[in-house]
């Protein structure tokens, strides 16, 4: 156990040096590190939101609403399909999870099934192959009744699509806020996690996310005003929408709009704030996709001179007048915009329709002052914890105790180096985990040294006692570290938030402690033996 | 060596101490069972003072911009908001205040609405230091995963111990671990300390620490079973516990030193966590000495089988575990 081959010594020393090198950037400020020559590692430990301050928001998509919307879309398609095929139906309605189609002539069921099955979309993509269908079209339990039911994989794909669209939208909205190194990721089936470092006042963020409802473009009723409609009755096929325009003159008036939108927000490709070339006023330019362009073109051709309404969140955000037919799909909205309001409207437009309503199900925000306090407290606790451990160890084990402490220092540096390298974030529970691993790493040394002392008491020679100490203790160390590792891995696997940060540090700490406490200390002890022998004295174990 | 002169450490441990642990195993078992039962009773009567993580609702830590926070005035302005019971307590310093709002009926959005009311009512005199809002869906998930994490850890650990030792050791470990978790949680129930996610992390770490202790003692028992083939089992267990006692106590001491540092200097946020750890390390140390090992005295271990397993297992384990050694 005490003989080291040359290459092993080199490997151990190299590992320690690498540890120092990669841990080094953390002891200097960001600016200092940036000025270092290119070959030096520059990665610093990423601090978690609880230490640097920031907001953590977990959003959930409303999958029930998603389903409802999907059925509504499906309804349109079914109606169109049956009409083209000239199959008469008396009603199409959603009932529970399914869409019910009631045919006028039950004998047309077969033909209708055939037509409607054309609507079935395969799930999956061309590369990975398709794996099923999005809906099932089956005859119901009465003659002339057809049931169209979304399949489970179909729903899941729908949710997945909505999630990616929502992430995209949230991302765009947040980036629109300005400086953001925020991360937005999907979590589980229908959740989205936003982490936004440095942000403490989440009101603006929530407002941006909260504006979730859909973007639609509607025609305005040519004659009836909102006041009239409210006093008498709303014309059939129309609905009163409140106004949410920034322009204060129009606030509260409201509009009477066609219930069925002309174009959906999904069809909007882009919207950007810009300036009118002639008047130099802020405007918004927008662009539709082909389907949207076709519908919007047809609509504007028939309604020149009339206003149309842009509805976001069931509220009219703008109602510009159509000056000329917009046939190519691109157009401009002008009006009394300031640079800011033009920008806002463009963002609202661009974010388009969030396909599903997002609800905040968890929020954790830490202010920068608390974060800084936590870092200070963590540093102090870490320092005092390490010092007291070191003093105890040296007082109890003498020179070998010093070696153990050197091992502990290597252990600490390696944790910092590994965490910087891998890019895991350090959280407050992570600091607690760090302090704990220091206390636990010393356990390996305690096991070894107690064993050496025991062997010495049975009358063994120093060298064989030391050798036996390391050999015998190692089995125990491996067993005890592996069991702790089992617990740490489960913590990481099942844990959330704070538990994970803790588990990461604990896991890395267990791995490095075996190296530092067993290998590094053993090398130091082996060198001590060689050195002491070289001085020609009788060997006396200083434990 | 080069820079460090040789000096002996101060070995203050009385190594020839032979405490008769097994003589009192009946008493220890009785006490341990009593405390486990008491903890269970506490769970069902007092329940827990769950934090927002598990109960849902909001937690807002604010700091008065100048001077001390006027808690009475805050209570007055927050009580009339119609958001149920609002707990207000000072937190650490006199300008720091912790506000807890219970979970609101009416789903996820209602929590955010309550938070907004509180923030608006507090006005501009405060800086928000921390906000935690957990809705009903997430809190129930956190409860489930917390319980699963603790149970899964116990299972994983026990399977490992079973694999490396005899089943009697695994049974001893599972009883000791269950004891540690139950009694630590029982203390949190008794004193109605805030029980949140960090306490689950503490419980999991206590499990790791406790099994660490148990494994060290078990290793020694196995080794001694090989060495003293004919010795009475109770005497052998006594010797094994005594032989490892110096390491058990010293490691406990260093771990406690680290945790005390966390408790006193780690800040208000870590205080409950450190308390759980402190208590858990004491309990974990107790359980491996007074529960896991003595249980073997009751169960009995097949000696020849143990010797045969010990003869093959350590060799295989050593070679497989770390090829870089030697």
Give me the residue from B107, B134, B201 closest to A491, CB to CB. B201
Could you tell me the residue ranges of all domains in chain B? 21-47+139-309, 57-134
For residue A52, give the nearest of A205, A196, A183, A201 by alpha carbon. Answer: A196
- Give CA–CA dist A236/A258, Å, rounded: 9
Q: Are A362 and B138 in contact (CB under 8 A)?
A: yes
Between B258 and A213, the higher pLDDT residue: B258
Instruction: Say if pTM beats, i.e. exceeds, 0.80.
Output: no
B204–A438: do the CB atoms touch at under 8 Å? no
User: Does B248 contact chain A (CB < 8 Å)?
Assistant: no
Residue B191: pLDDT band with limits 50, 70, 90: very high
What was the pLDDT predicted at B316?
A: 37
B219–A475: do the CB atoms touch at under 8 Å? yes
B317–A478: do the CB atoms touch at under 8 Å? yes
HEC string of chain B? CCCCCCCCCCCCCCCCCCCCHHHHHHHHHHHHHHHHHHHHHHHHHCCCEECHHHHCEEEEEEEECCCCCCHHHHHHHHHCCCCCCEEEEEECEEEEEEEEECCCCCHHHHHHHHHHHHHHHHHHHEEEEEEEEECHHHHHHHHHHHHHHHHHHHHHHHHHHHHHCCHHHHHHHHHHHHHHHHHHHHHHHHCCCEECHHHHHHHHHHHHHHHHHHHHHHHHHHHHHHHCCCCCHHHHHHHHHHHHHHHHHHHHHHHHHHHHHHHHHCCHHHHHHHHHHHHHHHHHHHHHHHHHHHHHHHHCCCHHHHHHHHHHHHHHHHHHHCCCCC
- Give CA–CA dist B68/A40, Å, rounded: 48
Q: Can you name the CATH fold of B57-134? A: Alpha-Beta Plaits (3.30.70)
Tokens of B242: 């005594």
Tokens of A284: 């918004």
B137–A60: do the CB atoms touch at under 8 Å? yes
Residues of A in contact with B325 (CB under 8 A): 1, 474, 518-519
**3-class DSSP state of A281:** coil
Give me the residue from B7, B258, B318 closest to A435, CB to CB. B258
One digit per residue, the tens of pLDDT, for chain A of length 543 reads 677 888 988 999 999 999 999 998 988 888 888 888 888 888 888 888 888 888 888 988 888 877 877 777 677 678 878 888 888 888 888 777 788 888 888 888 888 888 888 878 777 654 555 567 778 888 888 888 888 888 888 888 777 767 776 776 777 667 666 655 788 888 888 888 988 888 777 887 787 776 654 688 888 887 777 777 777 778 888 888 887 776 555 556 688 888 888 888 777 766 777 888 888 888 888 877 777 788 888 888 888 888 888 887 677 878 888 888 888 778 888 877 888 778 777 766 766 644 567 888 999 999 888 888 888 888 898 889 889 999 999 999 988 999 999 999 999 999 999 989 888 888 888 887 887 788 778 889 999 999 999 898 888 888 899 999 999 888 888 888 888 888 788 878 877 666 777 788 888 988 898 888 889 999 999 888 888 877 766 667 777
Residue B41: pLDDT band with limits 50, 70, 90: very high
Task: Scan residues 294-323 of B and list those with Cβ closer than 8 Å to A.
Answer: 314, 317-318, 321-322
What was the pLDDT predicted at B288?
A: 87
Please count the residue pairs, one from chain A and one from chain B, whose beta carbons lie less than 8 angstroms apart.
289
Q: Are A19 and A406 in contact (CB under 8 A)?
A: no
B109–A362: do the CB atoms touch at under 8 Å? no
CATH 1.20.1640.10 fits B21-47+139-309, yes or no: yes
Does position B321 have pLDDT exceeding 60, yes or no? no
Give the chain B residue nearest A49 (alpha carbons): B130
Does position B315 have pLDDT exceeding 50, yes or no? no
For residue A443, give the nearest of A415, A414, A484 by alpha carbon. Answer: A484
For residue A193, CA distances in Å to A119, A361, A533, B186, B246 come to 34, 10, 62, 34, 48
Give the chain A residue nearest B215 (alpha carbons): A480
Residues of A in contact with B219 (CB under 8 A): 475-476, 479
Residues of B in contact with A393 (CB under 8 A): 254
Residues of B in contact with A491 (CB under 8 A): 149, 153, 201, 204
Does position B110 have pLDDT exceeding 80, yes or no? yes
Give the chain B residue nearest A510 (alpha carbons): B208
**3-class DSSP state of A44:** coil
Q: Which residues contact B150 (CB under 8 A, 6 or more apart)?
A: B181, B200, B203, B204, B207
- Give CA–CA dist A262/A310, Å, rounded: 10
B11–A382: do the CB atoms touch at under 8 Å? no
- Give CA–CA dist A442/A452, Å, rounded: 15
What was the pLDDT predicted at A351?
A: 60
Q: Are A71 and A94 in contact (CB under 8 A)?
A: yes
Residues of B in contact with A212 (CB under 8 A): none
pLDDT single digits (tens) B80-89: 888 888 888 8
What was the pLDDT predicted at A211?
A: 62
A392–B257: do the CB atoms touch at under 8 Å? yes
What was the pLDDT predicted at B320?
A: 37
SS3 content of chain A, % helix, strand, coil (to 5): 55, 20, 25
Q: Which residues contact A409 (CB under 8 A, 6 or more apart)?
A: none
> Could you count the other beta carbons within 10 Å of the beta carbon of residue B65?
11
B5–A479: do the CB atoms touch at under 8 Å? no
Q: What is the DSSP letter of A486?
A: H
């Amino acid at each position: 156990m005490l003989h080291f081959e040359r290459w092993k010594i080199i490997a151990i020393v190299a590992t320690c040096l690498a540890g120092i090198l990669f841990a080094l950037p953390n002891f200097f400020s960001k600016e200092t590190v940036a000025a270092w020559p290119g070959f030096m590692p520059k990665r610093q430990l990423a601090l978690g939101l609880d230490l640097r301050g920031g907001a953590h928001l977990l959003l959930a998509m409303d999958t029930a609403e998603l389903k409802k919307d999907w059925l509504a879309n499906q309804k349109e398609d079914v109606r169109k399909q049956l009409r083209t095929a000239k199959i008469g139906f008396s009603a199409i309605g959603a009932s529970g999870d399914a869409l019910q189609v009631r045919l006028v002539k039950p004998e047309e069921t077969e033909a209708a099934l055939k037509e409607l099955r054309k609507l079935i979309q395969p799930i999956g993509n061309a590369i990975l192959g398709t794996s099923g269908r999005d809906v099932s079209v089956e005859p119901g339990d009465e003659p002339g009744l057809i049931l169209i039911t979304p399949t489970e994989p179909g729903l899941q794909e729908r949710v997945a699509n909505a999630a990616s669209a929502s992430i995209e939208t949230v991302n765009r909205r947040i980036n629109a806020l300005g400086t953001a190194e925020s991360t937005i990721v999907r979590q589980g089936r229908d959740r989205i996690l936003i982490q936004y470092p440095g942000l403490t006042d989440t009101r603006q963020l929530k407002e941006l996310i909260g504006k979730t409802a859909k973007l639609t473009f509607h025609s305005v009723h040519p004659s009836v005003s909102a006041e009239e409609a409210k006093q008498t009755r709303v014309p059939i096929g129309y609905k009163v929408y409140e106004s949410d325009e920034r322009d204060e003159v129009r606030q509260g008036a409201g509009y009477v709009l066609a219930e069925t939108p002309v174009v959906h927000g999904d069809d909007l490709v882009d919207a950007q704030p810009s300036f009118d070339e002639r008047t130099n006023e802020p405007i918004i330019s927008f662009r539709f996709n082909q389907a949207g362009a076709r519908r919007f073109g047809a609509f504007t051709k028939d309604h020149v001179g009339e206003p149309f309404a842009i509805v976001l969140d069931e509220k009219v955000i703008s109602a510009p007048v159509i000056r000329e037919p917009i046939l190519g799909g691109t157009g401009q909205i002008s009006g009394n915009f300031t640079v800011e309001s033009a920008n806002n409207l463009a963002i609202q437009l661009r974010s388009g329709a969030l396909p599903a309503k997002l609800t905040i199900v968890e929020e954790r925000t830490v202010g920068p002052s608390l974060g800084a306090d936590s870092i200070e407290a963590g540093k102090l606790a870490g320092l005092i914890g390490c010092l007291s451990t070191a003093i105890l160890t040296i007082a109890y084990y003498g020179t070998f105790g010093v070696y153990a402490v050197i091992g502990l220092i290597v252990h600490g540096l390696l944790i910092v180096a590994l965490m910087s390298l891998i890019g895991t974030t350090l959280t407050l529970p992570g600091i607690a985990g760090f302090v704990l691993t220091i206390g636990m790493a010393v356990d390996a040394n305690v096991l070894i040294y107690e064993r050496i002392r025991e062997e010495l008491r049975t009358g063994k020679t120093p060298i064989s006692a030391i050798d036996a100490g390391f050999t015998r203790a190692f089995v125990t160390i491996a067993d005890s570290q592996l069991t702790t590792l089992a617990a740490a891995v489960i913590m990481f696997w099942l844990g959330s938030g704070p538990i994970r940060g803790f588990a990461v540090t604990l896991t890395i700490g267990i791995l490095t402690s075996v190296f530092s406490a067993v290998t590094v200390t053993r090398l130091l002890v082996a060198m001590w033996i060689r050195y002491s022998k070289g001085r020609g004295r009788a060997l006396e174990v200083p434990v | 060596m080069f820079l460090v002169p040789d000096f002996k450490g101060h070995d203050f441990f009385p190594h020839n101490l032979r405490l008769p642990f097994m003589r009192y195993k009946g008493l220890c078992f009785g006490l341990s069972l009593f405390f486990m039962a008491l903890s269970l009773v506490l769970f069902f009567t007092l329940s827990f003072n769950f934090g927002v993580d598990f109960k849902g609702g909001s937690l807002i830590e604010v700091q008065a911009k100048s001077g001390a926070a006027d808690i009475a005035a805050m209570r007055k302005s927050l009580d009339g908001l119609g958001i149920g019971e609002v707990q207000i307590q000072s937190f650490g310093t006199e300008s720091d205040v912790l506000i807890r709002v219970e979970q609101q009926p009416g789903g996820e959005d209602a929590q955010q609405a309550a938070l907004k009311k509180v923030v608006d009512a507090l006005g501009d005199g405060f800086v928000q230091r921390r906000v935690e809002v957990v809705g009903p869906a997430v809190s129930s998930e956190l409860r489930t995963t917390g319980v699963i994490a603790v149970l899964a850890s116990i299972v994983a650990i026990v399977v490992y111990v079973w694999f490396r030792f005899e089943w009697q050791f695994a049974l001893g470990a599972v009883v000791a671990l269950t004891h540690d978790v139950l009694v630590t949680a029982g203390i949190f129930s008794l004193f109605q300390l805030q029980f949140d996610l960090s306490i689950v992390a503490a419980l999991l770490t206590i499990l790791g620490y406790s099994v660490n202790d148990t494994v060290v003692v078990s290793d020694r028992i196995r080794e001694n079973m090989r060495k003293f083939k004919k010795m009475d089992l109770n005497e052998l267990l006594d010797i094994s516990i005594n032989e490892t006692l110096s390491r058990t106590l010293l490691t406990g001491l260093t771990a406690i030193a680290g945790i005390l540092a966390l408790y006193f200097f780690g800040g208000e946020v870590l205080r409950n966590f450190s308390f759980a750890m402190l208590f858990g390390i004491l309990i974990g140390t107790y359980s491996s000495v007074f529960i896991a090992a003595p249980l073997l005295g009751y169960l009995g271990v097949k000696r020849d089988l143990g010797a045969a397993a010990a003869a093959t297992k350590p060799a295989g384990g050593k070679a497989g575990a770390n090829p870089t050694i030697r």
